[in-house]
Structure 1
């Protein structure tokens, strides 16, 4: 009898821990998307050259692959910054995101660090 109670208690505790973990992950994801939308809406424009594109195993609905873009961003003051941006792009736009192509980005300085987003990327 005590073994059954112990097993049920362990199962309940495990379920609670899993729910807390998933809730935190969802909250973090929502905050990230909010920041990305804010950068695209409020950010300053800049141009970037794609140095490299790396596919990941993630996608949205099979039509929006998640990629990592290695970028050389030319800031409005002429300074060039190197950065990597993880983003989703529509599958039909993949040819526009190849090494050597110039793309539009937006950025905001957050906590003293420039944060970049790709104009035309998919943001939920």
Structure 2
């Protein structure tokens, strides 16, 4: 085998290995995203209700089905009067953007998942 053929085979093998790594990472990200959506939908269905004041809200560069994704810091008041702060990352339907502004109160559901308090906005986009 000459040097040119060896170089072509090495480059080909490297390209295949790189493609395999990229595909593996992409499927891992998709799997993680699906798990997060299942968790959010479970909290919406089974979580405890509360009201949350949006203390801060920041846009991200991401979208979910053409709905902007934002990160928020909220202060949640549970039905039993307990108050706690929590981060929240969610997609906001375009038509509901005015409801998701600093100082506004939104409906939420919350639950303890793996030892951490998770909060989900009721009016957010959950595919």
Residues 1:76 and 2:110 aligned together: no
Give the unaligned 5+ runs of structure 1. Answer: none
Offset, 1:123: 1.3
Offset, 1:61: 4.2
| Backbone CA RMSD of aligned residues | 1.2
TM-score (norm 1): 0.92
Residues 1:24 and 2:15 aligned together: no
Deviations 1:32-81 (A, max 9, x none): 1110110101111011111121111112343x111112100012331211
TM-score (norm 2): 0.90
Find the structure with the greater CA-based Rg. Answer: 2
Offset, 1:111: 2.1
1:80-99 map, 5 Å? 80-99=83-102
Name the CA distance, whole Å, in 2 between partners of 1:106 and 1:49: 13
Residue equivalent to 1:52: 56
Residues 1:66 and 2:69 aligned together: yes
Name the CA distance, whole Å, in 1 between partners of 2:64 and 2:19: 27
Name the CA distance, whole Å, in 2 between partners of 1:113 and 1:44: 14
Matched position secondary structure for 2:10: helix
Give the unaligned 5+ runs of structure 2. Answer: none
Q: Which runs of 4 or more aligned residues in structure 1 lie more than 2 Å from their structure 2 counterparts after TM superposition?
A: none
